[in-house]
Structures are given as C-alpha cells and as structure tokens.
Homo-oligomer: A and B are copies of this chain.
Amino acid sequence: MSAIRLLVLGAVRQHGRAHGYQVRNDLEYWGAHEWSNAKPGSIYHALKQMAKQGLLHAHEIAPSTAGGPPRTEYEITEKGTAEYLSLLRESLLAHDQKPDVLSAALGFMVDLDREEVLGLLQQRVRTIRQWRAAVTDHYTPEDGPAQLGHIGEIMNFWVHSADAGAEWTQGLIERIRGGAYTFAGEGEPFVGVLTDGQENPYATGQRHPEDTC
C-alpha cells in the first residue's frame, strides 16, 4: 500500500471540504512531494478513485473563483473516515519497508488519542524486534553466515535499518509520553493545513537538495 490514500484522506478530512488543488497544496506544504508519490496525477487519481469507492463524496462545483478550470470539491464520508482511521493505525503499526507510509502516519497521529498512539508504537517496536530475531535466525543456518558472501550485506543492511527504526520509535514514544504535542481530545489541535489565502513558505522554488529522485 502506498501512502497516497492516507495522505489524501487525511488532508480532505482536515479541511472538511476540499478540492484537488487544495489537497495538492497541503501535501506540498508538508513536504510530502519529497518523501512520497504525492504528485498531481496521483492525487487527482486517488480522489476520483476513492469517490468511486464511496470513501469521499464529490460535489460538482461551478467554475472556480480564481481562474482555471471548474473544480470538484470532496468531503469525507463515514466509510471514508473509518478507512482513514484504519489506515492510520495500520501505518503506525506496520513495519513495512516503506518509510513514506510511516511519515504520512506521523503527520496524522494526533488524530488518535495519546494512549492509543503509545500502544501502537510500542507494538511497532515489539514487531521490529521479533522480525529482527526471525531474520537473523533464518538467514544464519547451520553453514554459518559466511556462506552468504557479500549477499549477507543485504540482510545486514535491513537489520541495521530495523534497529535504527526501533531506536527512533522508542525515542518518539518517550517524547509523546513526556507530554509533547496535542492529541485528539486534548484541546485546540495543531493546524497543519493552509487556510485559504495563506502563503506557503515551502512552495516550489528553492527546495533543499535531494530533489534528484
């Protein structure tokens, strides 16, 4: 599963009602175009697809107020909200190899409540540790690890990445337990979207390096 559905659902949900360009802009504001496949085509495709599946409700809207072609506004449905929360929980839990999914989930974690997030992250750490044990066990058979030659470096890389992921998750758990951030039901939420007319400080222009992918 790619991160795009989670990102789009979450963005629409924060707005209440949003058209494609707004979603696109939000994702850029979060830097999502740098660490995920949040490109225009994918975003508009996801919106249409999820509208077809009943996760979003599409309002056909007259020609836009600010130039350009007519636009469609979307609103998240009940089914969409259920899917969103399910994706969000799953993404915080899953030890996928896809860092974009975790990144997206981090951006929305405050939509859950603090205790639940702590539980999910702790489970995440446990899963990683189990995975690590199983892998090192499975790939170091009776013949010894030297059998694998340089191929063993692949496993070594993954194990190292998993360790780093577990360590980082542990750090996050401690920050959250220590009272950082504002979670669901804890008062005024942090606003992570651009309100209409607000300028985007991270808009295209001079991005930081790495834009070579």
Contact = CB atoms under 8 A, between A and B. Distances in A.
Contacts of A210: 95, 131, 134-135
A151 interface: yes
Contact of A154 (B107, B131, B209, B212): B107
A81 interface: no
Nearest to A172: B153
A209 B160 CA distance: 17
A96 B213 contact: yes
Interface in A150-203: 150-151, 153-158, 160-161, 163-165, 168, 171-172, 180-182, 190, 192, 201
Given A35-B97, A149-B181, A160-B168, A209 B102 contact: no
A24 B150 CA distance: 20
Nearest to A155: B31
A151 B192 contact: yes
A6 interface: no
Contacts of A192: 149, 151
A109 interface: yes
Contacts of A149: 181-182, 190, 192
A107 B190 CA distance: 44
Contact of A103 (B98, B158, B190): B158
Contact of A150 (B135, B141, B190): B190
Interface of A: 1, 30-31, 35, 94-100, 102-103, 106-107, 109-110, 130-131, 134-135, 137-139, 141, 149-151, 153-158, 160-161, 163-165, 168, 171-172, 180-182, 190, 192, 201, 208-210, 212-213
21 contacts: A1-B213, A30-B154, A35-B158, A94-B212, A95-B210, A97-B99, A98-B213, A99-B99, A99-B161, A106-B150, A106-B151, A107-B154, A131-B209, A134-B209, A138-B208, A139-B208, A149-B182, A150-B181, A151-B190, A160-B164, A161-B164
